[in-house]
Amino acid sequence: MAIAVSPRPAGSWTGDREAVRLLASCAAHPPEHRRHVASYAMTRDEWTGFEGDRAARLETIREEWIANAVGFSWEGPRPGNPIWGTPQWEAMRAAWFALSDLQPSVEQAIFDALSNRKDAA
C-alpha cells in the first residue's frame, strides 16, 4: 500500500491563527532567549532557544501542523495504531522529517517576528 504524501503543502505552520497571535505577542514582548549546555562523559552540547509557555505552545503548533500535513502520528506500538513499524509508518515518519526541514523552527519564527516589528530599525 503506497501512501501519497505531499512533500510541500501550501503555507507554513506560522500561518496558523493561534501561531500568528502568539508570534505577535512575542514580537511585542519577547520571551527570554537562553543559552543551554548539556555535558556528557566525552562531549558537550550547546544550543540556544526561547523559553516559556508561548515558545512551548508554538513548538506544539509546529509539530501538529507538520504531522497533520503528512498524516503522521507519533503514537508508539499499541493496538490502536496498527501501522506502527510497517513500511507505511516509516514512509510517514520520513515525510515528517523532510517537511520539518522545510519549515521554520520556532526560534526562527520568533526572530522573524521580532525583525518585522514596526519599531525595528
* pLDDT given for residue 74 in this prediction: 62
Contacts of 54 (CB under 8 A, 6+ apart): 22, 25, 26, 31
Q: Is 112 or 3 the better-scoring residue by pLDDT?
A: 112
The end-to-end CA distance of the chain, in Å, is 54
In this predicted model, what pLDDT tens digit does every residue of 20-56 receive, in sequence order?
999 999 999 999 999 999 999 999 999 899 999 999 9
Task: Please check the confidence at residue 4 and state whether its pLDDT lies above 50.
Answer: no
* pLDDT given for residue 92 in this prediction: 80
Q: Hey, where are the domains in the chain?
A: 13-115
